[in-house]
Amino acid sequence: MLITLFDKRTNISKDTHGQIRSVFGEVLFKTKITKNVRLEESPAYKETILTFAPKSPGAVEYKKLAGEVIQRVEEDRVTRHAEDAA
């Protein structure tokens, strides 16, 4: 899984995201992890963003991404189960 921090203030971030989206299309998760200070600070304190700053935008976005991953895994499981039953 490729995760890059998205900085909505920079053209390079927008351009890179556009290029990644054009290559991977709908396979790319919808959630963007935006660059912020708390995400950069948490490793220095040897904590995850979820324990260091659980209400920060970065923590909220990582939780949202985790929800997307779980949803895809569940959808894939259901699809495979239906194919196996057919």
Tens digits of per-residue pLDDT, 15-72? Answer: 998 999 899 988 889 999 999 999 999 999 999 999 999 999 999 999 999 999 999 9
- Compute the half-sphere exposure of residue 68: CA atoms within 13 Å on the CB side of its CA: 15
Looking at the predicted structure, is the pLDDT value of residue 2 above 70? Answer: no
Annotate 10-35 with b (16+ C-beta within 10 A) or e (fewer). eeebeeebeeeeeeeeeeebebbbeb
Q: In the prediction, which pLDDT does 59 show?
A: 96
Q: In the prediction, which pLDDT does 85 show?
A: 83
* Nearest Cα to Cα of residue 40 among 27, 58, 28, 54: 58
Can you read off the two tokens belonging to residue 20?
């990644």
pTM of the model: 0.81
DSSP alpha helix (H) spans, 4-56: 11-24, 37-41, 49-52
Looking at the predicted structure, is the pLDDT value of residue 3 above 70? Answer: no
Q: In the prediction, which pLDDT does 1 show?
A: 57
Contact 51, 22 (CB under 8 A): no
